[in-house]
Structure 1
Amino acid sequence: MLRILCLHGYRQNATYFKEKLGGFRKLIKKTAELVFVSAPLEVSQNDFRNESGTVVDGRGWWFSREDNYFRALDPSDFCYGFEESLKVVEKVFAEEGPFDGILGFSQGAAFAAILCSMQQKGELSFQFQFAVIVAGFKSLCTPHGKYYADIIRLPSLHVFGETDGIIGTESSEDLLKAFENPVVIKHPGGHYMPASSQQKPYYIEFLTERLKLKEVKD
C-alpha cells in the first residue's frame, strides 16, 4: 500500500479537501492511503462556503500580496508564509511519515512541484518518490523562480481540466515543461480532480507502477 500526503488548494483545508477527494479515494483505496494536512496560514474568507453552506476554515500555503492574499496569475516579489508551510510539511513527514508520494491541488499542486525541485536540489529533510499534480501551475513569486531552472526528474502525474476557469490549461501545460516525461490526464471538466471510470485506469496504472517499485526496494 502506498501512502500519499495531500496538499489542499487555496482557501481549503484538510477536512474539506478530504471530502472533495471522496470519489478519488474510493477509486484507489486498494492501492493507496491518503493523508491530509492543513496549511498554516489563515485566509480571509469573504463568505467562502462548502456545499452544505458552512463557512470553511480556509487556509493557504503562502500569500503573494502584502494584504495577505494570493493570486496564482499575478507575478510578485512577495512570498509570505512559504517557510512556515515548509515546516508544517516537514513536521508531518517526521511524525506521520514516511510517505511514498505527495498529491497537490491548485496552490497545493504548485507547492508540490516546488517540493519536487527542492528535493532534487537536496534542500529537504524528507523524501518522497513521486508527485500527483492536479490543476497545477508555476508559482509566479520571484523567490520560487529558481525551482524551475532545471528539469525535475521525479515521476509525476499531472491532471487538469480543459474548462478550468481558475487555473487555465496553459498554466498547467507550462508547468509540465518543468518535468521529465510527465504522465498527463487532461479531462473535459473544470477546477477539480475527476474520479470517473474514464480516469480510473490511468490513476491505477500510475500508482500500481509506483507500488511495484516500492515493493522491489523493500
Structure 2
Amino acid sequence: MRKQVLGKWPADVTARLDLVFADAPFPAEGKSEVEGIFDPPYYEWFQFDKVWISGQDFLQCRNLDMCVSYLEELMIREGPFDGLLGFSQGAAVSAVLAGLQQQNLLCVFRQGLALTGVSKMKCLIAIAGGKIHAPVAAARAFAGKIMCPSLHFIGDDDFVKYHSEELVEAFADPLVIRHPCGHTVPKLDDKSLQIMLAYLDKIERDIWEHSSTDANIIALNSEAQIPEV
C-alpha cells in the first residue's frame, strides 16, 4: 500500500496527506486474491466469504469485531487522525467504521457503535472497496446513509467493481474517481487529479471550521464505556 500510494500519486497530493500505514492483524487464509498484484506476505483485516442469497452475491465477513478493536486501539495510540484511507479489504472496513461511528445508541452519552474513543471521522478514501453485509455490526453500519465525506476509486476491470458501486450508494455525498485498471491503486490522470485536489480542499476547509468541536467529542466518549460491536 505504501509503495502503491507514494509511488503512483503525485507529490501535490501526498504532501497534503500525513499517512500512517497500518498492517492488517490476520495472516491471509489460503490463496490471496491479490497474489501477483502485490508482494507477499499477505494479511487480512478480516476473513470473508462470498455467499449467494436470493439471486445476489454478497460479501460476509468474520472477525470484524476483533478488527474494529485493533484499529481503535491503533488510532488512540498513534493518533489523532482525521480519517481513513483504505484499499480493498481496508476500504471495506473503513466504510464500516465510518458507519458504526455515526450510528448512536440510546444513552446519555449517545455513543457511536465504534471508534468511540477517537475524534469523529472527517474523511474516507476507499480504493477498490466493497460493501459487506455481515455480521450484525456491518448491517448496523449501513442502517442509513453515511454522512462522512467520501472519495471512491472504481476500476473498470476490477473484480470487485460491483461491490464498489454498491458501497458508493451507502454514502450521502460521495465523490467517485473511475479508472480503466483493475484491483490496484491507480495513477491519477488530469481529471482524477482535479477531483482528488477538490476533495482535499473540501476536507481541509471542514477540518478548519470544526476543529473546536473535537475535544468535546473525545472527552464525552473517553468517559463512557465502549460497547461491543
Q: Distance in 2 between matches of 1:116 and 1:20?
A: 24
> CA-to-partner distance for each residue in 1:6-62, whole Å, 9 max, x for gaps?
xxxxxxxxxxx11121222634133111111111111146484666xx6x1211111
Task: Select 1:162's aligned residue among 146, 156, 159.
Answer: 156
State, as a whole percentage, how many aligned pairs show the same letter.
Answer: 28
Specify the alignment match of 1:42 in structure 2: 27
Q: Which has the larger radius of gyration?
A: 2
Structure 2 portions without partners, runs of 5+? 104-111, 212-229
Specify the alignment match of 1:194 in structure 2: 186
TM-score (norm 2): 0.74
Does the 8 Å CA contact 1:72/1:140 hold for their aligned counterparts?
Answer: no
Q: Distance in 1 between matches of 2:205 and 2:59?
A: 41
Specify the alignment match of 2:141 in structure 1: 147
Shift of residue 217 of structure 1? 3.4
Are 2:194 and 1:212 equivalent residues in the alignment? no
Q: Distance in 1 between matches of 2:68 and 2:141?
A: 15
Shift of residue 182 of structure 1? 0.8
Does the 8 Å CA contact 1:161/1:190 hold for their aligned counterparts?
Answer: yes
Q: Distance in 1 between matches of 2:123 and 2:70?
A: 19
Q: Distance in 2 between matches of 1:135 and 1:29?
A: 19
Q: Distance in 2 between matches of 1:108 and 1:71?
A: 17
TM-score (norm 1): 0.78
Q: Distance in 2 between matches of 1:61 and 1:114?
A: 12
Is the partner of 2:21 in helix, strand or coil? strand
Specify the alignment match of 2:92 in structure 1: 110
RMSD: 2.4
Is the partner of 1:131 in helix, strand or coil? strand
Are 2:83 and 1:98 equivalent residues in the alignment? no
How many residue pairs get aligned? The number is 191
